Amino acid sequence: MSTFVRFTSNAEVTTIGRGLASRTLPKSRWTHAAHFAAALWLVDLKASHLMPELIRAYNEATGVANTHTSGYHETITQASLRAARAFRAERLHRPLFEVCNELLQSRPGRSDWVQTHWSRERLFSAEKAWAESDLEPLPSEDDIFPKERL
């Protein structure tokens, strides 16, 4: 049995995305799953490029400082967006909430996925800007979910 909370409707995913955008999502609901729900919602709107700005604004609105040691993290966000875009591209015919649930059960949906590509020291160093991977190269969006495994 999965340990994450399953989304049961597109409305739930949309509520998270809109809550992030309006900075009204309760801080307790800004979870790992919510990050991916918001990312997929933005992918569907063709607005995933807004995710960094939205997270920074949300953090500030909920009292989380965006500094070198807390708040927004460019590398984690961009790697996760790459995974979300690739995953959604292969499942355009599926309801958004189902895609989100499936993504969260996949390898890139795990919170430690980025540590396959970045060492903990590099990923969580004082610098929160984009950092090139130092372990395994980050695959292209086409290679994250190879078609033969779908």
Q: At what angle do helices 10-22 and 96-105 cross, to 10 degrees?
A: 80
Q: Taking the model in full, what pTM does it have?
A: 0.87
Helices (H), strands (E): how many in the chain?
7, 0
Q: How far apart are the first and last CA of the chain?
A: 21
Q: Cα–Cα distance between 17 and 25 in angstroms, integer?
A: 9
* Domain parsing of the chain, residue ranges: 10-143
- Residues 131-148 have pLDDT tens digits of 888 999 887 766 655 444
Per-residue pLDDT, 2? 45
Q: Residue 131 is encoded by which pair of tokens?
A: 């950092």
Would you say residue 121 has pLDDT above 50?
yes
